[in-house]
Amino acid sequence: MSNPLNIGIISQARVTSTRLPGKVLLPIGGKPVLQYHLERLQKSNLPVFIATTTNASDEPIVAFAQAQHIPVYRGDEQNVLSRYYECARQNNLAIIIRVTSDCPLIDGDLISAAVQNYSLALDKNLYYSNCLVRTFPRGFDFEIFSFALLEEAYYKATRPAELEHVTPYINQNQSGQVRLGHFTQPEDKSQYRITLDTPEDFELIRILIEQYQAQNLSAAEIIKLLDAHPELVRINAQVEQKKL
């Protein structure tokens, strides 16, 4: 695959989860959640890497990724920033797209469109995402930034939240050099939640996949489906996102 800009998607994944243990390996329709996530990312036609931990409990993630021919980097459980840095460094990535594995219906085509916008800017200090100004449902999240910004965060970030959540040092512009860019859509659909963190989230995603084949739908089609079915939205409407 041609990748002249050395762009890669790094997805963080681990088995331990306080609210829904083992969530990324839970089966839906005969496949683990992680497989839907990876298949959706591969629609972007960009290389995908998994950054997991050195914990023995994450051996199943490593085994699954290897079976799918997805490269894996293993590092510190708490210092996720170091995991991203080492994964990007070892794979010579100049531009990193950060996603999380609890988004099984993430849209690779959305990521492709965002990468096109990012690439046109020709700005290594640009942080570009659909997370800070949120118009897409939670579950389609991605962040795009240069290795230069990641490297600076790796060497200079010190707060636990900066290490665990990878990008706060960058998107809070601690260096004073970062330019923020926002990938948005005209209509705000941020009230919808299609990420996996609780049993209620799992139930919604299970129904979307098993009854509506959402794994084959675009982000716009999934949003349209939720617009038409408020009873589905209510399944996890009360779930609160964990704070950084």
Q: What is the pLDDT of residue 45?
A: 95
CA pair distance 138, 226, nearest whole angstrom? 13
What is the per-residue pLDDT for 244?
A: 58
CA torsion angle 191 193 197 199 (round to 10)? 110
Sketch the domain layout of the chain as residue ranges: 7-187
| Interacting residues of 72 by C-beta distance below 8 A, sequence separation 6+ | 49, 50, 51, 52, 61, 62, 65, 66
At 118-158, the pLDDT tens digits run 999 999 999 999 999 999 999 999 999 999 999 999 999 99
Q: Which amino acid is at 152?
A: E
Task: Report how far residue 200's alpha carbon sits from residue 126's, in angstroms, rounded to the nearest whole number.
Answer: 36
Instruction: Select from 36, 159, 49, 31 the least CA-distant residue to 99.
Output: 49
- 34 in Cβ contact with 24 (< 8 Å): yes
The CA–CA distances, whole Å, from 74 to 87, 97, 111 equal: 8, 18, 24
Q: What's the pLDDT at 2?
A: 58
CA distance 37 to 30: 14
pTM value > 0.85: yes
Domain at 7-187, CATH homologous superfamily: Spore Coat Polysaccharide Biosynthesis Protein SpsA; Chain A (3.90.550.10)
Beta bridge partners of residue 74, listed in sequence order: 52
pLDDT at 1: 46
Q: Which residues of the chain have pLDDT under 70?
A: 1-2, 4, 242-244
